[in-house]
């Protein structure tokens, strides 16, 4: 399997866990029956697992010689490449989310409604210049069903990055049993039987924050780089 396939598998497994481990009394509030701008967070968070060497080493190996794991250097490079392209990725997401909201905004009844004229300038302003003869919006499948909710993908990413900090700080990282159980009890089990914001904050043990997401995509306040230990490090 490619790394992308494995990431998708973990993502979908997050949705599966959300349903399998539910303790909600009524089906309406069980598992993934949560608000649309939260439903992707538990699954998107699980994607973090496949960018972590410790996790990957538990299963990812050379099929000809399973003792050969993915080298740490390669995983570092993959993470670096993801960070390098995060800007393009989210500009595109924000462009889609913005045009989705604009198209669903109130519109005077007697005014003509030209969805291309509404969406193309937004794509251009938020993402990249486009050929004016193209009509991206006509094949934007997510307009159907996600109506005015496309922003939920990026918002769920922000929640997911926030929730991932619990594992990042845990003793065994993404394999930490205590953190895992807390995720199960506070996020997966209740589903929508209590406000998801309450669940998130119970899991975090603090108020929600968008800072971990900003840091993850390289635009938040970064941790100060350690000063070089001595003159011998100069020029490296």
Closer CB to Zn ion, 15 or 185, in the complex: 15
Closer CB to Zn ion, 32 or 199, in the complex: 32
d(CA 141, CA 134): 16
In the numeric block, the tokens 């993915």 are attached to 70
Give the shortest CB-43-to-Zn ion separation in angstroms: 4
Residues 6+ apart with CB under 8 A from 27: 33
Cβ atoms 188, 18 nearer than 8 A: yes
- Find, among 1, 38, 3, 2, the residue nearest to 18 by Cα: 38
Select which of 7, 12, 40, 73 is catalytic. Answer: 12
Active site annotation includes 12: yes
Strand partners, 65: 62
Give the shortest CB-157-to-Zn ion separation in angstroms: 11
Give the shortest CB-40-to-Zn ion separation in angstroms: 5
Alpha helix stretches (DSSP H) within 53-151: 53-56, 72-84, 86-103, 115-126, 143-146
Closer CB to Zn ion, 46 or 143, in the complex: 46
Binding stretches for Zn ion (CB under 5 A): 40, 43
Nearest residue (beta carbon) to Zn ion? 43
Known catalytic residues are: 12
């Amino acid at each position: 399997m490619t790394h992308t396939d494995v990431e998708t598998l973990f993502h979908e497994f997050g949705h599966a866990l959300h349903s399998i481990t539910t303790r909600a009394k009524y089906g309406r509030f069980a598992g993934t029956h949560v608000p649309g701008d939260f439903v992707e967070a538990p699954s998107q968070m699980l994607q973090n697992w496949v960018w972590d060497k410790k996790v990957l080493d538990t299963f990812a190996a050379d099929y000809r010689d399973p003792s050969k794991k993915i080298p740490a250097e390669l995983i570092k490079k993959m993470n670096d490449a993801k960070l390098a392209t995060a800007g393009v990725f989210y500009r595109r997401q924000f462009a889609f989310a913005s045009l989705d909201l604009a198209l669903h905004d109130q519109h005077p009844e007697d005014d003509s409604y030209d969805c291309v004229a509404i969406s193309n300038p937004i794509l251009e302003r938020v993402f990249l210049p486009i050929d004016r003869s193209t009509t991206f919006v006509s094949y934007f499948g997510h307009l159907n069903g996600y109506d005015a909710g496309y922003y939920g993908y990026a918002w769920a990413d922000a929640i997911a990055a926030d929730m991932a900090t619990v594992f990042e700080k845990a003793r065994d990282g993404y394999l930490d049993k205590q953190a895992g159980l807390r995720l199960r009890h506070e996020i997966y089990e209740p589903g929508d039987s209590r406000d998801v914001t309450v669940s998130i904050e119970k899991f975090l043990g603090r108020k929600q924050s968008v800072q971990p997401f900003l840091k993850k995509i390289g635009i938040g306040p970064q941790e100060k780089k350690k000063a070089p230990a001595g003159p011998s490090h100069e020029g490296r």
